[in-house]
Amino acid sequence: MEYFAHESAIIDSGCIIGKGSKIWHFSHIMTGAKIGDACNIGQNVVISPEVTLGDRCKVQNNVSIYTGVTCEDEVFLGPSMVFTNIINPRSAIIRKEQYAKTTVRKGASIGANATIVCGFEIGEYAFIGAGAVVTKEVLPYALVVGNPAKQTGWMSEYGHRLIFDEKGIAICPESKEKYQLKDNRVSKLK
């Protein structure tokens, strides 16, 4: 076994778990789940069938990742955040064939207690504030907060708010990397 699983974790047969990943107390990885290399799965996490996590993802405590969710590399899922996978759930009506897909792109962060309504894409390096309720697509590098979540700015790959000058250029205060805002889209300059 090339990964660590706490003795209280439940790992169903038929999972793929990458090298160097860690799965902590009382977490359940279900059949068909795929976890990349060097991921950290906190305590009391459920990863449902057909969920895919890329490499170096961090899933904090009390997160449930339901069928239909794909997270690319380096995604951060904050404590007790929630994904949904059905738009109109009812206890007495089974709608497994209607699971909506949600994709979280590389480097995105989702804050504590946020809710991600299914069927949308969260762009690369997007930053979802704590407690936000996401009900639509989130652009790459966008900062969104509130209920319903609204975009209030842009974030660098290092997680700092970007302040753009009159030419549409911003510099991350930590990495010193430059970003350009053009046509309501942010890109990192080479």
Percent of the chain with pLDDT over 70: 100
How confident is the model over 160-185, as pLDDT tens digits? Answer: 999 999 999 999 999 999 999 999 99
Do residues 149 and 132 touch, judged by C-beta distance below 8 A? yes
Spatial distance between the Cα atoms of 12 and 88, rounded to a whole number of angstroms: 29
Check which CATH number belongs to the domain holding 55 and give it. Answer: 2.160.10.10
Q: How many distinct structural domains can be found in the chain?
A: 1
CB atoms within 10 A of CB 28: 17
Domain assignment present for 69: yes
Tokens of 120: 């949308």
- Give which of 105, 118, 119, 151 is closest to 132, Cα–Cα: 151
Domain assignment present for 171: no
Do residues 37 and 57 touch, judged by C-beta distance below 8 A? no
Domain assignment present for 45: yes
The arithmetic mean of pLDDT across residues 98-121, rounded, is 97
Domain assignment present for 164: no
Give the pLDDT of residue 19. 98
Instruction: Indicate the SS3 state at residue 7.
Output: coil
Give the pLDDT of residue 7. 98
Evaluate if residue 1 carries a pLDDT over 80. no
Evaluate if residue 152 carries a pLDDT over 90. yes
The residue segments making up the domain with residue 22 are: 4-87+99-159
At position 158, the amino acid (one-letter code) is: Y
Do residues 80 and 61 touch, judged by C-beta distance below 8 A? yes
Between 96 and 31, residue with greater pLDDT: 31
Distance of CA 105 to the CA centre of its chain: 7
- Give which of 57, 90, 112 is closest to 69, Cα–Cα: 57
Polymer length of the chain: 190
Give the pLDDT of residue 111. 98
Domain assignment present for 186: no
User: Which range, of 30-39, 57-66, 88-97, 143-152, averages the lowest pLDDT?
Assistant: 88-97
How confident is the model over 29-63, as pLDDT tens digits? Answer: 999 999 999 999 999 999 999 999 999 999 999 99
Instruction: Tell me the whole-structure pTM to 2 decimals.
Output: 0.96
Domain assignment present for 179: no
Spatial distance between the Cα atoms of 165 and 104, rounded to a whole number of angstroms: 29
Q: What are the φ/ψ torsions at residue 97 (nearest 5 degrees)?
A: -75, -5
Instruction: Indicate the SS3 state at residue 80.
Output: coil
Tokens of 42: 């906190």
Domain assignment present for 12: yes
